Amino acid sequence: MAAPTAAEVKAQVKTSFTDATVVGIINDLDRQLTEHVGPRSGVGYKLDLEPYLATVLALPRPAATITTAVEYTDSGSDPTKTTLQGDDYELNATADELRRLSSGTNARSTWGWHVELTYDPVDDEVRRNQVLIQLCRLEINYRSSTAESVGDFSRSLADYERERTRLMRRLIYRGVS
């Protein structure tokens, strides 16, 4: 699944902007979301654990599948690089922690000092696209003032940066950004 189309955004956000303008807004905000929470798939994650002897790695986003896990052991100046097999680790029930197993092909009770993971995160496309549409609404309706008044009518407007941050935080796992 990809980012919403201009038609999908315009169905939920009233605007007179052209489709090309809305597509530009969508693409820019989608890029910002990717920078903020990571790509839709193929997440790369590197972790230096030295001098810790960790048995469990906390993932920044829940994983659907682990594509590759590479572990470095021995000294940093002359490391041993091992591509782990699926039986060398296990994902917990909530898919946000990876436990090193002492019973696998490359058995060890703790992770090496440096670990490189590539994995596909749990599908969050629906929530991600909802946030993206809400960000589009905020961007399209943004006014630089914080309040407006005409005659007896007045209203306060949302603080753009605060609202933008609040929306993006809906996609953050474990406080990682």
Q: How many domains does the chain have?
A: 2
Residues 16 and 32 occupy one common structural domain: yes
Each residue's pLDDT, cut to its tens digit, for the chain (177 residues) gives: 688 999 999 999 999 999 999 999 999 999 988 888 878 778 888 888 766 788 999 888 889 999 999 999 887 677 899 999 999 999 999 999 999 999 999 999 999 988 999 998 888 888 889 999 999 998 888 755 455 566 776 656 567 788 888 888 877 664 343
Three-state secondary-structure class, residue 163: helix
In a domain, 177, yes or no: no
CA separation for the pair 88, 109 (Å, rounded): 10
In a domain, 175, yes or no: no
- Beta bridge mates, 99: 56, 90
Residues 149 and 82 occupy one common structural domain: no
Residues 144 and 164 occupy one common structural domain: yes
In a domain, 165, yes or no: yes
Tokens of 47: 């972790």
Alpha helix stretches (DSSP H) within the chain: 6-12, 19-37, 125-141, 160-169
In a domain, 135, yes or no: yes
In a domain, 176, yes or no: no
In a domain, 174, yes or no: no
Three-state secondary-structure class, residue 67: strand
Domain residues for 65?
43-121
Residues 48 and 107 occupy one common structural domain: yes
In a domain, 95, yes or no: yes
Which residues fall within 8 angstroms of residue 26, CB to CB, at 6 or more apart?
3, 4, 5, 6, 9, 132, 136
Of 142, 139, 165, residue with least CA distance to 22:
139
In a domain, 75, yes or no: yes
